[in-house]
Chains A and B, each alone.
Chain A
C-alpha cells in the first residue's frame, strides 16, 4: 500500500488543538493568569523581555503562558510580535548613574561611596528546597535599611579619576549607531553593534562562552567592578519640542567588568572594560555578556585571537536563539528530496565498488 507521507491541513489543525489542550493541563486546576506569571515568575519574564528585545512585562508574561513556560519559544513569540511594530523614535542613552538602585555591589572595593547594597538576590541563600512553599503563605515584608545614599558614583568612574582604566568616550555626534534589527550584521562589527547582538543573545550561550574565557580560552582576568540593578528613566528626543521628554521607567541590570591589560607599545598598562546590560534582573546574563564583550575586543586591543569567545563571526552569528532554534529544528521538516539524491549517489558509489570486484586499489591502500 502507498504510505501517506504527506500531512494536510486537518492534521495541522488537530495538532494545534492538542497543543492548546496540553497547555491548559489539568482543567480541574485554576488557570494561570498573565498577571500571576508577571508577578511570580518575574525572572523568567525578564529573560523573555531581554532576549525578545522588547520591554513589556505583560506581553512577555503572555508569551510565557502561551509557550507553556518554554523560554526560547516565548522569546520567539515576542520577537515575531515586535517585528510588526513601528519605530517611533530613538531614546536618549540611559543614564545608569541616575538609577534608583535596588541592588548594587562591587567586588573590587570593600566599601565605596554609596555603599554596597545586596538587594533581592539568590546569592548567599542555601539552595535547599523550601517545602513551606508547597502551601500558600502570608506575604513577607522585607525591612528597608533606611535611606539610600543620594549619590552612587560608578566604580569605573572612581578608577577613571586616577587614569587607571580606559575611558569610554561617547561617539562623535555624527556617528550613526547601527541597528541590528533593521540592518544585517556585517563584519567586522563595531562595538555598538556587537553589544546589541550580545544583549539579545541566548543567556546559556553567553554563559558558556563567558565561562570559557575564565577557564583559559582567552583569559582576561576579570573582576566585577560593579553590578547595579534598579529603575532608570527613559527619555525620548522629540524633534518638534527640541528637548527630551521622560516617557517612563524601566528596570535594568548593568555589569561593569574590569579586566587586566598589560599594555602595548602605544599604551601604558591599565584596566580595560567589558560591559553587560539586561532588562529586569537578568544578572547572570549581564555578567556573561560583559565577559564576552571584553573577549570580543581582542582585535581592538591588539591581543592575539586564539579562542572562540574572541571570534566575532563565531560569537555573533551563533548567539541568537531564535535563529539557532529555528535552524536546528528545521531538520524536522521533510528532506526526502535531498535525501533521495544522496541515496541515489551512495547506491551508485557502492555499485561501482562492487562492479570493480575485489577493488584492488582498496586492498593496496590497506597494505
Chain B
C-alpha cells in the first residue's frame, strides 16, 4: 500500500537524483563528506533525516527494508521510520538482518555479519570527526584537504596521559582508506571493527548538517591508536541473560531499585535468532524465568 498523495519514497525524482549524485561521489571518495542539498523531511532533524534521505534515494520497489535504533527493531523511532517507508514505498519490511537488502540504523551495526549486495544506511548527527576539536567548518575542511589530523592524535594522547587509556567509548575516529578521518556515527567502539573490509555498502547520511559519506564494500577502515595503546573494544562481566551470547553488544537493563540488573543483547534480531536455535541465558523467559529466581 503506497500513499498516493506522495511520490515513491516521498522525495521527488529530481531530489533523489541529486542525492544519488552525492552518494556516487561519496562512494568514489571513501570517507570524504560530500555536501548535499538536504531537504526537510516529515521527521525532525536529528531523528534520522539524513539516513532517511539516503534510504529514499536508493530504495527500490523490490527492496526488503529493516530499520533499527540502538540495535533493536522495536524501538519507537525505528518503528516510526519503518512505517514511514512502508507507507511511502509499499516495500516489504523485515526484522531479520539476513533477509534485508537495505538496513537503516541508528547507533549500531547488526551482529549478524553483512553480505555483499546489502546496503547499511547510518543516521549521522554530527559528521565532522574534528568538530569537538575545531568548531569551524572552514577550518575543518582545510584540515581534511591537507590530511592534517595531528590534533586528533594529540587528543587521544592526552586521554592516555590523563586516564591511562583512550577515553572515547563511542563515535571512535577512524582513518578510511588511509586518507580521510571519518566519524562512524555514534556507534559504540565495539562496532568499529565491523566497518573494516565489510562486504556490504555502507552509506552515512547527516540531514541537518547536509553531508553524505560512504564506505564502499571492502574498504580499509582503521581506528586511530598507538602501538603501545592499541585500539580495543568493550567487554562485559557476564553473557546475555536471554541468549547467553558472549560476542554481542549488551544493553544494561535495571530490574529494581536495589541495584539488580541484567545484560541483554542490544541486537534483538541476533538475540532472537540465537534463542530460536536453542541458546539460553540466565533469565531466559518465560519457561526458565522461575528457575533463575
Contacts and interface: CB of A to CB of B under 8 A. Distances in A.
Interface of A: 1-3, 5-9, 11-12, 76, 79-80, 82-84, 86, 181-188, 313, 317, 322-323, 325-330, 333-338, 340-345, 348-349, 352
Given A8-B74, A341-B169, A327 B45 contact: yes
Instruction: State the main secondary structure of chain A at its contact with B.
Output: helix
Interface of B: 6-7, 10-12, 35-42, 44-47, 49, 69-72, 74-77, 79-80, 83, 106-108, 125, 135-138, 163-165, 167, 169-171, 186-190, 208, 210-211, 234-236, 249-255, 262, 264, 266, 268, 283, 285
A80 B40 contact: yes
Output the residue of A2, A317, A341 with the most chain B CB within 10 A. Answer: A341
8 contacts: A2-B283, A6-B74, A184-B38, A187-B138, A317-B137, A327-B45, A334-B75, A344-B235
A86 B40 contact: no
A322 B264 CA distance: 36
Nearest to A3: B253
Contact of A327 (B41, B46, B136, B268): B46
Nearest to B35: A184
A218 to B, nearest CB: 18
Instruction: For the complex of A and B, list the 9 residue pairs with the smallest distance between their C-beta atoms, beginning with the closest.
Output: A326-B45, A330-B46, A326-B44, A327-B46, A341-B169, A184-B210, A341-B188, A184-B35, A326-B46
A182 B252 contact: no
A7 B75 CA distance: 6
Given A7-B74, A334-B69, 9 more contacts: A2-B283, A323-B45, A326-B44, A327-B45, A329-B44, A330-B45, A333-B69, A338-B171, A344-B235
A186 B77 contact: no
B169 A325 contact: no
A341 B189 contact: yes
A352 B164 contact: yes
B12 A84 contact: yes
B47 A8 contact: no
B42 A330 contact: no
Contacts of B70: 334-337
Contacts of A343: 252
A183 to B, nearest CB: 5
A9 B251 contact: no
A79 B283 CA distance: 48
A327 B107 contact: no
Contacts of B37: 181-184
Given A7-B75, A187-B138, A345 B41 contact: no
Contacts, number: 149
A141 to B, nearest CB: 41
Contacts of A322: 40, 44-45
A187 B139 CA distance: 10
Instruction: State the main secondary structure of chain B at its contact with A.
Output: loop
Given A184-B35, A342-B169, A7 B76 contact: yes
Contacts of A313: 135-138
Nearest to B135: A313
Contacts of A183: 35, 37
Contacts of B188: 337-338, 340-341
Contacts of B106: 333
Contacts of A326: 44-47, 49, 208
A6 B75 contact: yes
A327 B71 CA distance: 21
A349 B166 CA distance: 11
A185 B37 CA distance: 8
A184 B39 CA distance: 10
Contacts of A187: 137-138
Contact of B42 (A80, A325, A329, A338): A80
A282 to B, nearest CB: 20
A91 B264 CA distance: 58
Nearest to A77: B42
Nearest to B234: A344
Given A337-B107, A341-B170, A82 B210 contact: no
A118 to B, nearest CB: 37
B265 to A, nearest CB: 11
Nearest to B189: A341
Contacts of B47: 326, 330, 333
Given A83-B39, A341-B189, A6 B44 contact: no
A337 B41 contact: no
A1 B255 contact: yes
Contacts of B108: 337
A342 B167 CA distance: 9
Contacts of B170: 337-338, 341-342
A335 B107 contact: yes
Given A1-B255, A352-B164, A6 B72 contact: yes
